[in-house]
Amino acid sequence: MDLPRLGLGTMGIDDPAAIEMAIQLGYRHLDTAQIYDNEVVVGEGIERAAIDREELTVATKVWVDQLGADTVYESVEASLERLGLERVDLLYVHRPRGDYDPDGTLPTLAAAREDGLVGGVAVSNFEVDQLERFRDVMGRPPAANQVEYHPLFQPEDRLAHAREHGYPLVAYSPLSGGRVGDVAEVVTVAEKHGVSPAQASLAWLLAKGIYPIPKASSRDHLEANRAALDLELDEADVVRIDGVDREDELYPE
C-alpha cells in the first residue's frame, strides 16, 4: 500500500479542530480505532478540512470484542457511520485476541473489502506466526502491520517480515511515550543535526523504511514532527540508534 511516510496517531485527541489543523499542515494519513472512542471526532475534522477525499489515507481498527465472524462486518459499517465516510483505506484487526478467529474474521473482512467498504485489510500487534496465518487464509500479506516501534522497543522480526513480503510496517508510539529525550544515543544524533530527540527518532524510523504515526494535537508539535521528513540521517546515525540496548515496551500483550 502506498502510504504517506508520516501519519497522525489520534489516540486521545478529542477535538476535531486538531484533526482539521493537521490536515491543513499536510498530514494525509490519519489513524484512529474503535477503542479510541474518537472516530466521530476524526470524521468531523476531515469534514471541516474540506479536502479531496482521495488525498487522504484514513485508517481505523476493529476492537477485539467485535472481531467475531457474525459481528465484524456490522462493526465496520458502524465505524464508517461514525467517521462519516463511505470507506476506510485501511481496516486493522486491532489485536489478534478476543473474538478473533482467522478462519472466520479474515474472510468476512475480505468480503468488506470486496464490497468497497475497506481499501485494504491490515493487522496490528501481530507476531510473525500470526502474520503467516493471515497469509495462509487470505492468500496475500496484510495491507500493513502496525506495531509499537521506537528506539526502546525494536521488533526487528516484524520489520524483516514486512520487508520480505512488501507491505508497510506502521509504527505507533514512535517517540517511546516521550522517553526518547532520555535515550543517550538518540540525544547524540539529535545534537549532531541540531534537532530535537523526537525529530531524530522519527527520522531514524523513516530511514529504516518504517511509517511512524506520532500523536500530536498542537500546531508546534504537528509542525515539528512533519519537519522530520526533511532530516536525513547517515548510516552511522541509524546504526547508533539501532544499537540502543535498553528495552521498554509500552504496550505489552
Paired with 153 in beta bridges are 150
Distance CA 69, CA 242 (A): 40
- Among 36, 149, 172, 211, the one annotated catalytic: 36
b/e string for 15-50 if b means 16 or more Cβ within 10 A?
A: ebebbbbbbeeebbbbbbbbbbebbebbbbbbeebe
Closest CA to 122 of 91, 77, 167: 91
Paired with 123 in beta bridges are 93, 145
**Is 100 a residue of the active site?**
no
Catalytic residue numbers read 36
